[in-house]
Amino acid sequence: MKFTLGWLKEHLETDADIDAITDALTRIGLEVEGVENPGEKLSAFTVAKVLTADPHPDADKLQVLSVDAGGDAPLQVVCGAPNARAGMIGVFGPPGAYVPGSGFELKVAAIRGVTSHGMMCSVRELELGESHEGIIELGEDAEGSVGLSYPVYAGLLDPVIDVAITPNKQDCMGVRGIARDLAAAGLGTLKPLEAIVGSLPKIAPQGAGPDVRTEDTEGCPAFFAQAVHGVTNGPSPAWLQRRLTAIGQKPISALVDITNFVSVGLGRPLHVYDMAKLSGGLVARKAKPGEQLLALNDKTYVLDETMTVIADDAQVHDIGGIMGGEDSGASESTTDVLIECAYFDPDHIARTGQKLMLTSDARQRFERGVDPAFLDQGLEIATRLVLALCGGTPSEVTRAGEAPTAPRSVAFRPEMARTLGGIEVDAGTQRDILTRLGFVISEDGKSAVVPNWRRDVEGPADLVEEVVRMVGIDKVPSEPLPRMLGVAKPTATPEQKLERKLRRTAAARGCHEAVTWSFISESEAAPFGGGAWTLANPISEDMKVMRPSLLPGLLAAAERNLKRGAGSVRLFEVGRRYLADGERPTLSVVLAGEKSPRGWQSGKATKFDGFDAKAEALALLEAAGAPVGNLLVMPVPGKAEGGAAGDVWHPGQSGTLRLGPKNVLAAFGMVHPRVTGEFDLDEAVAAVELYLDAIPAKRATGFMRPAYTPPALQPVTRDFAFLVDADVASGDLVRAAKGADKANIVDARLFDIFTGTGVPEGKKSLAIEVTLQPGEKSFTDAELKAIADKVVAAAAKLGAELRG
């Protein structure tokens, strides 16, 4: 909902500025979505007087004006407006001013050979309305304001506040309701309504009221109306047009603008009918199936018997509480009007609007619930505005039906502000807040009568909400909830947290978790060094040995899946393997089948290899917090080196990741074909075993990591190609290059391996990319050469030589 600061201050006596008001609105639950000042974009435009108007020497429809814009000398302006003439006062745009309605910036320009220093502006060009027949005429009363900023003269420097109204705050769908809330929050005093409308003409009724009645007492319990005869309908006054334009509504005519003004200002939707277009009296009734209405939005709606309408003897003229019809709307020729002020049931309005997919300002207010006790006063204010702006003679008021105004009381429990709202507010302060909001506290202080405009208040908790939001939700202290008896404390150990993180990482990388038996057969355990623990009385011979590895169960599961048509198998399991010195927590991964299927771009399907297993191992170790940058890649120990499971892995296509030469964190690579054959697997299988108990625990520190500060300078890359012995591991070369200058080298990676023509027998060429990160200044050529020399020297320790 939008409204101007000046409009708000008509209802609220306050010295608060726009910043204090917007802060208070958000604090009490009326979130400010934006504030804009429509006069700012017109700050360059001034009030100006046309001194002379002469015909253009080379154009029949143009005039050459001499304009006094308040400067030292008159300005020459070429103008094509038909109403431009000597002596008139209008709005002048100087060179450099941006014309919002036309979208261009004014410049000194020659028009048909005559230089023009700006322009006299129309209403549309300044986005103040749709009129474009001529330039703005301000009238003789603007004589003393020549040279004054036009937004200041026209009162356009009135900030527009856009507030998001929640569905339960139906009372704030009018400016007065928002003013009431701000007054309750201590930001001023709510002015009496009569003090605002007191200057309007008093009503002296003549003649009987209009013929209106309600036959649908559920949809329209109350239908009040008053006629005004002999009105003159034309454009509304400038102050009213400015107010509606500021909030995005288009001024139409005085009669229509009055209804919009009352709706936005007081939250009371109204409708005006041209009595000359009615056939007989008006009745609120259910629509007949198939009845149609051409609404004010130029769309025709087909109605049904669940919808409340306002109709005369001939046709439907209004979808009750949502939108009026085109056939009976007020026009320039209207002389006799009927002002409708009715109460429509919110539920009926909501259902009708949903069925017709029709929204309007009236629907937004009626379906939330308008004040049912404001019928007489709302109708009176609208009638007085019609008399003030359009003249005429009012009739008596016809009141059909009765609005639901029975008083409602809820229990008032001041102690609930602390127990439910979490804030200490003394009972007296609570009573004052609720009284300012319109509640009436009983003499014994145990109940509160709810005002008619607060349909949402149903119990004592709602009163607590009102008190807390007025005191300020920011005043509610942040306190941890006490741990109640029976609520378990966190019990996950670091090991359990690590396993949980690794499960998520493996699943995120596309693997499916498996749970296999901890018992396997002796034949399945044999390739893995046999079982250290054997059951004397097993369930079956196939479940006799406690597993020395998780791989047997995963290999058996992979075999079952592949034989049932699975094209690709990615399985992982977190569990225990049972060795002679106890159980060991382990995560194992098995990759079998197709890594990627065949396709028109890739060609043949690709299979998993040892590098895929290494990638999985490094990713999982990184998730576990292991220092992957410091890990060594070493062969899997065979039986000769004391490795009981060495024969499980394919020689030359497997390895281990170690933190130091002895601490093995993981084994990875291709499973030996002999082992896959024993599990009846026709596919090559890649696998990983992570030894979770070997991963070093994180040290307890303060912050997890320092705040990320991106470097100011771009990184620099340098490529090196080395000749090394064929048995030198590429990872050793990459690690040596990265450690050659730790202050400047931030990364190194292998990007090419080559053997063949030009490479000696027993040698291979390894190409690496080294990334350098400058600090406060860019590297000089000398510095880059020094770093390169360090890389070459570090590689030379491995027997590597730089290729020519």
Which residue ranges make up the annotated binding site for Mg(2+)?
456, 462, 465-466
DSSP helix/strand/coil, 589: strand
Count of positions (residues) in the chain:
804
Give, for 5, the enclosing helix (H) or strand (E): helix 5-11
Compute φ and ψ for 234, nearest 5 degrees.
-150, -160
Report the distance separating Cα 645 and Cα 526, nearest Å. 9
Determine how β-strand 89-93 pairs with β-strand 2-4: unpaired
Question: Shortest CA distance to 731 belongs to which of 749, 706, 747?
Answer: 749
Question: Shortest CA distance to 4 belongs to which of 271, 240, 257?
Answer: 240
Q: What angle do the packed helices 254-266 and 238-246 form, to 10 degrees? A: 50
Question: Shortest CA distance to 222 belongs to which of 364, 78, 340, 141?
Answer: 340
Report the distance separating Cα 322 and Cα 351, nearest Å. 11
Report the distance separating Cα 409 and Cα 314, nearest Å. 44
Read off the DSSP letter of residue 431: H
- Residue positions in the annotated binding site? 456, 462, 465-466
Q: What angle do CA 615, 620, 622 make, to 5 degrees?
A: 95
Determine how β-strand 716-725 pairs with β-strand 685-691: unpaired
> Distances from the Cα of 742 to the Cαs of 626, 683, 739, 787, in angstroms?
20, 44, 5, 10
Q: Write the secondary structure of 466-520 as one string of H (helix), E (strand) and C (coil).
A: HHHHHHCHHHCCCCCCCCCCCCCCCCCCHHHHHHHHHHHHHHHCCCEECCCCCEE
How many helices (H) and strands (E) the chain has is answered by 20, 42
Beta bridge partners of 577: 584
Whether residue 58 contacts residue 112, with contact meaning beta carbons closer than 8 Å, is answered with: yes
Own/partner pairs, 254-258, CB within 8 angstroms, 24+ separation: 254/386, 254/389, 254/390, 255/231, 255/330, 255/334, 255/337, 255/386, 255/390, 256/329, 256/330, 258/382, 258/385, 258/386, 258/389
DSSP letters for 696-727? PPPPP-SSSSPPP---SS--EEEEEEEEEETT
